[in-house]
Amino acid sequence: MEADGNYVHPFAVDDIDIYSGETYSVLIKTDQNPKKNYWLSIGVIGRKPNTPQALTILNYKTISASVLPTSPPPVTPLWNDAERSKAFTKQIISKMGTPQPPKSSRRRILLLNTQNQIGRFTKWAINNVSLTLPTTPYLGSIKYKLNNTFDRNPPPETFPKDYDIFKNPVNPNTTIGNGVYMFRFNETVDVILQNANILEENTSEIHPWHLHGHDFWVLGYGEGKFKPSDAKSFNLTRAPLRNTVVVFPYGWTALRFKADNPGVWAFHCHIEPHLHLGMGVIFAEAVHKIRNIPKEALTCGATAKMFLNDTLH
Ligand SMILES: [Cu+2]
């Protein structure tokens, strides 16, 4: 009945998918024999697990928690049953009456997720840029207009039209970058996350993308490469508000948000190793509206030197 802090239209299930970064609230109907305990199983999906499913106990207060259940633990869904996962995710719609997205957006950013190489190292890249954070924090860099602290060229807002998302990359090489997608304050932005084949043939992975500083409306999911006409199928009446959303193998996910929170915000895959291998982008809006940046956010890189000079004088 709740996803990422927002109510959703409640629905009944025997199991739920939770990806890294997501949060859910569930209600459990305790209508079983209270003289017994019950197993709850937790399994891995999305990648082949090297561990058996984990178990915990649902315990009625009337008996000891150490009394083992008499019925066998539920078997968790197959790790690679993507259709089941899609069916679950697509059931999530907003609770009636929750705020809905603006009917249109003038800015659409397409983000192609690819696995790449730099030398012998595996990387992830977005529109062929693998995110490597600068040593100077963005907030101070932008607010104090410092030079040479990060790449001032805006990163690409799309990718080549002929990119074949079903094949491993023709040229797996990529480049590192740390540019920022800058938004006008209160601008409505659409982001299309586009998945693709990884370095290995016939494989595309699941990525849960998490946005800092905002909730976004999930407008929809689709198979294959996003086409402009897919926008006709966007859910603009019961779009759930979330801050983390999954992009399924070989598919796309569309979301919309208002750039209404002054700051610099990471938007990244919440599988931590993927982020550290470059699977993220940086968004920013209305940084000039931030009056005081906490000292702690200024004590690295070029802003550290400024701060040091300030305290010396
Ligand atoms: Cu990922």
Residues around ligand 1, an ion, CB closer than 5 A: 207, 269, 271, 274
Tens of each residue's pLDDT in the chain, 313 residues: 999 999 999 999 999 999 999 999 999 999 999 999 999 999 999 989 999 999 999 999 999 999 999 999 999 999 999 999 999 999 999 999 999 999 999 999 999 999 999 999 999 999 999 999 999 999 999 999 998 999 999 999 999 999 999 999 999 999 999 999 999 999 999 999 999 999 999 999 999 999 999 999 999 999 999 999 999 999 999 999 999 999 999 999 999 999 999 999 999 999 999 999 999 999 999 999 999 998 888 988 998 887 776 654 4
Q: How far is the CA of 247 from the centre of ligand 1 (A)?
A: 9
How many Cα atoms sit within 13 Å of 112 on the Cβ side?
26
Q: How far is the CA of 273 from the centre of ligand 1 (A)?
A: 8
**Tokens read off for 122:** 């595996």
Q: How far is the CA of 129 from the centre of ligand 1 (A)?
A: 15
How many Cα atoms sit within 13 Å of 229 on the Cβ side?
0
d(CA 236, CA 118): 40
Per-residue pLDDT at 135: 94
CA-wise closest residue to 205 among 21, 52, 45: 45
Q: How far is the CA of 36 from the centre of ligand 1 (A)?
A: 41
**Tokens read off for 145:** 């207009």
Q: How far is the CA of 22 from the centre of ligand 1 (A)?
A: 14
Q: How far is the CA of 57 from the centre of ligand 1 (A)?
A: 31
CA distances from 249 to 155, 219, 267 (A): 24, 18, 19
Per-residue pLDDT at 306: 78
- 3-state SS, residue 239: coil
d(CA 80, CA 94): 27
Per-residue pLDDT at 194: 98
Per-residue pLDDT at 310: 63
CA-wise closest residue to 218 among 235, 205, 230: 235
Tell how many helices (H) and how many strands (E) occur in the chain: 4, 18
Counting Cβ atoms within 10 Å, is residue 33 exposed (0-12), middle (13-18) or buried (19+)? exposed
Q: How far is the CA of 140 from the centre of ligand 1 (A)?
A: 28
Buried b (16+ CB within 10 A) or exposed e, 210-229: bbebbbbbbbbbbeebbeee
Q: How far is the CA of 35 from the centre of ligand 1 (A)?
A: 44
Q: How far is the CA of 17 from the centre of ligand 1 (A)?
A: 16
Per-residue pLDDT at 309: 66
Per-residue pLDDT at 267: 98
